[in-house]
Amino acid sequence: MPTSTSSRPSYELTTAEFARQAGVTPEAIRRALSEKGSYFGAIPIRRPNGRFLWPSMSPEVRSPQS
């Protein structure tokens, strides 16, 4: 039986790591999540301890470097 690879992102980044990849501050991530419910479509999962885990950003999702 063939195994299919999942296209779902792996949720393994803290808010600070996600912000570093996105090139913004963690506060900007938290503010967008609070106001809009996501950060440009990225929705974290909440761990039992209340902290968020964010999806790893694939190269095509990252903002272009000028």
Going from N- to C-terminal start, the domains of the chain cover 11-55
Q: What pLDDT is stored for residue 66 in this prediction?
A: 45
Residue 37, phi-psi category: left (phi > 0), alpha (psi -120 to 50), beta (remainder): left
Query: Could you read off the pLDDT of 23-60 as tens digits, one per residue?
Result: 999 999 999 999 999 999 999 999 999 999 999 876 54
* Bridge partner residues of 52 (DSSP): 46
